[in-house]
Amino acid sequence: MNWQSKFNNLKVCVLSLSMALSAGLVGISGVAATGVADASAAMELSVTGDSYSRLVLFKEGMFPEQAATLIEGWKDIQATILPETGLIRLSGSSPTLVREAELAVLQAFTDAVEYTGSDPKVELKLDDSEMIAASLTPQIVQQNLVDIKNIGDNPKLDKSFSKTMDFEGLNANRGEETVRAEELLYEKWGWDIKEVTDDWKSHDIQRGSRDVVIAVVDSGIDSSHPDLKDSLIGTGKSFVPGIESTDDNLGHGTMIAGTISADGKLLGVGPGLGLVPYKVFDTGKADSSWVVEAIVEAVNDNVDVINLSLGTYKSLLKPDDQAALLAYERALAYAQLKGVTVVASSGTDGLNISDPSILAQALKWDASELAVHAPGGLPDVITVSAYNRQHEKAFYSNYGLHDMIASPGGDYGSTWFTKGELNLTSMCLTTYPTHLPQSELSKLVGLPVGYEFMIGTSLAAPKVAASAGLLIAEAKERGYRLSPSAVKDMLFETANDYGEHGADEDFGVGGVNVYAALMRLNP
């Protein structure tokens, strides 16, 4: 039973949300007056730099046109209005003025307001592998890395470096390694993409089309990367206040982009697919409203698929969380209504996200709390967990939903936890901004600038997003359009069964196989 059904059984009021053309989703709601009153009293303001913010969410079909006129009179308040979700974000440099603005909206439109609340942060948790890579010294790598000279496609390879091998000798051979890496990068290191494409066979059917656009809601994309520059069909948009560029200063978004449609030294799942960046991170944190706004903007831009390799945990009971949580659900429902497929990662805390009570306990919340992971785990989104090269659930991957699909996200190898041996063939290699420093790990292996090893559900989700894009591209060539539900059904029905027979907690329906899904379109 999924968390929505369990929550209904707790007899908490459930809002039946019908958007513009009667598209539906399950929304979480309490007594509206209580939510507004509690939020107004507590006034927990979200802080971003020198800016404070609050969210005001209106009831379905009751978003007032007069709200814009009211807000225009506030010179020191910035307001973001999203009528598609019924959301207004109020922000300013003075917490007092933000409070006054919120109260003014409440007084003017009391009967129309569903919730007011904070704008919770979404933290971009760069997976442990990046921190490990950044902290590895040549000496540590020499002692623990699997022999790079013998690395091939054997997933069981666990041969360690000889501790007598000196690092200078390895440096002397780096030039030879670099040449081979440049020539055969995707063949040597692309096991995860091979998994999804069935050893590249899907590329013989469909490589993607620039007319099929994947929105990468993340930290931006390195537009100068040689493997990605031809995939970018637009500059996109930044939702980070004060930052207009969608270039990637963190690396995460470029990693996602390469997994989708790299076409060069690396190959993505769909090298021909188009990419557009929607930047919500410039540091490691973003406001939830920025993500909601990016989803809505991408839908209005007529993209085909949205990738969300990000997430946060929200309370089903805390009034201050309800505005953000319901705004997420409405944005996802809006995408569904407009025919846009949304794919999101399940998270990297190794938690069971199927039961709100158990999840709250695992997060060490109050005993009476209920928690959900958002946006992955919510309705109207394909949630993706991660597995390793041995087809086991990755140790970091959140799990538990039967209505979920898995994808290769990699790990450190089968002897990492027992012997401390780091097996690079078990990690995922993907694109990285060329202007950011290389890790010691990539330098050691002799990788060209612009490529890094990584693991995580963040890399699992875009493989499914790209698979969805390939199905949409194939259908378009045949003269019809696949709905989000049709895309999901096709991916789920053709998934590889890596767990127990049928859907299970670790893999959901199984591991994505885009070749099998494309073959379903080509009987």
Residues marked active site are found at 218, 252, 458
Largest CA distance in the chain: 76
- Residue 501 CA to residue 450 CA, distance in Å, equals 40
Cβ atoms of 334 and 292 closer than 8 Å:
no
435 CB neighbour count, 10 Å cutoff = 13
* CB half-sphere exposure, 412, CA atoms < 13 A: 21
Residue with tokens 């859907």: 503
- Residue 270 CA to residue 259 CA, distance in Å, equals 8
How would you classify the pairing of strands 46-48 and 51-58? antiparallel
> Token digits for 58?
């209106």
As to burial, measured by CB atoms within 10 angstroms (0-12 exposed, 13-18 middle, 19+ buried), residue 111 is: exposed
Which of 420, 211, 389, 388 minimizes the C-alpha distance to 302?
211
Which of 452, 458, 446 minimizes the C-alpha distance to 434?
452
Whole-angstrom distance between the N-terminal and C-terminal Cα of the chain? Answer: 34
DSSP character for 393? B
Residues 6+ apart with CB under 8 A from 163: 142, 143
**Overall residue count recorded for the chain in this entry:** 523
Cβ atoms of 280 and 312 closer than 8 Å:
no
345 membership: H or E segment, kind and range: strand 341-345
- Residue 140 CA to residue 355 CA, distance in Å, equals 40
443 membership: H or E segment, kind and range: helix 440-445
The CA-based dihedral angle spanning residues 275, 280, 284, 286, taken in that order and rounded to the nearest 10 degrees: -150
> Token digits for 258?
């390469």
* Chain centroid, CA 322 distance in Å: 21
324 CB neighbour count, 10 Å cutoff = 26
Cβ atoms of 55 and 87 closer than 8 Å:
yes
Residue with tokens 């990637």: 248
Residue 53's SS3 state is: strand
Residue with tokens 């096709």: 490
- Residue 492 CA to residue 193 CA, distance in Å, equals 18
Which of 474, 472, 469 minimizes the C-alpha distance to 270?
469
